[in-house]
Amino acid sequence: MNIYYDFDHLGEIRNAVVTTGSFDGVHTGHKVILERLKKLAFEMGGETVLITFDPHPRKVLYPDTYGKELRLITTRREKTELLSRAGLDHLIIVNFTPEFSKTSSVNFVRDILLKKLKARKIITGYNHHFGYNREGDTEVMRQLGRQYGFEVEEIPEQEIQQESVSSVSIRKALLEGDIRRANKYLGHNYIITGKCTRKKVSPVNPHAPCYSIRPEDEIKLLPPDGTYPVIIIDPDDKYPGHCMIRNNPESPLQASITFETTEPVNCMTDITTLLFLDKEPASHAH
């Protein structure tokens, strides 16, 4: 997967099939869009393109209200890795600034999707809005398509057990400690990645190797305090273990996240990943 951080240094993209969005969590609803994107690109002899934003637009547009307490399911590194595994050809991570937020829907389509990407087809999710003040929607995109000569397709809303799959519903499940439900909606395990450090003594089991891990982003959403079975992944192997979380209301970066496993973990690398399986009942927690 090719990764770009602006629209001025793009490599050649053949018959671009494009979608846009935050894609926080890269959940099952997102994967429906990505699979459709790949199918259409294959049929057209084209390449898939996702335009996403960092920081999250809500943090920029509503820093004192809706965006102030926003926590994200995936950090930028985690989201990039999940999108790469999904088989995307090109990822464009746009620096979302107050200035960029003022780009009108018409200018976004004309100056970016058409002039920069030469988009052949644009895929939108259910209830998709774009452009300044969210003025653009799928119908506006279709009108622009007729005017400028590109095709538009909307993906219908996906549902799991009568509950709309969205980043909001997954965040709710995680905040309730319902890892199993969150994982079902995600279509993969909830993860925490970060730099691990060996602790001298485990607070629970003095014979088990114990480590701490620190999330890479202060807006990473963490589950409630508790003990969670995890799979620990380092460059050498995978190990079963348990993760103990003690949150800090001020910042996820100040939370206590420790994990234990029966095998020594390679902390010399830049990154360690914890795959969350479920939450242990309080009576059985370590």
**CATH no. of 2-160:** 3.40.50.620
Q: Is the pTM of this model over 0.85?
A: yes
pLDDT per residue as tens digits for the range 88-117:
999 999 999 999 989 888 888 889 999 999
| Mean pLDDT to the nearest integer, 56-79 | 90
Distance linking the first and last C-alpha atoms of the chain: 41
The residues pairing with 256 across neighbouring beta strands, listed in sequence order, are 246
Range from 159-168, 189-198, 213-222, 240-249 carrying the lowest mean pLDDT: 159-168
Q: Would you say 255 and 246 are in contact if contact means Cβ atoms under 8 Å apart?
A: yes
Instruction: Collect all residues with Cβ–Cβ distance below 8 Å to 153 and sequence separation of at least 6.
Output: 36, 40, 121, 122, 123, 124
- Whether 163 has a pLDDT exceeding 60, the answer reads no
Alpha-carbon span 178 to 223, nearest angstrom:
8
Alpha-carbon span 137 to 108, nearest angstrom:
12
User: Under DSSP, is residue 177 helix (H, G, I), strand (E, B) or coil?
Assistant: coil
pLDDT > 90 fraction of the chain, expressed in percent and rounded: 52
Top mean-pLDDT range of 13-17, 67-71, 206-210, 216-220:
13-17
Residue ranges per domain, the chain?
2-160, 189-284
pLDDT band at residue 205 using 50, 70 and 90 as cut-offs: low
- Tokens 């273990």 sit on residue: 241
Is the previous residue joined to 203 through a cis bond, with omega within 30 degrees of 0? no
Phi, psi (rounded to 5 degrees) for 107: -65, -35
**CA 57 → CA 22, 133, 200, 250, distances in Å?**
8, 11, 41, 22
- Whether 162 has a pLDDT exceeding 50, the answer reads no
**CATH no. of 189-284:** 2.40.30.30
Q: How many other β-carbons are positioned within 10 Å of the β-carbon of residue 96?
A: 19
Longest dimension (CA), the chain: 69
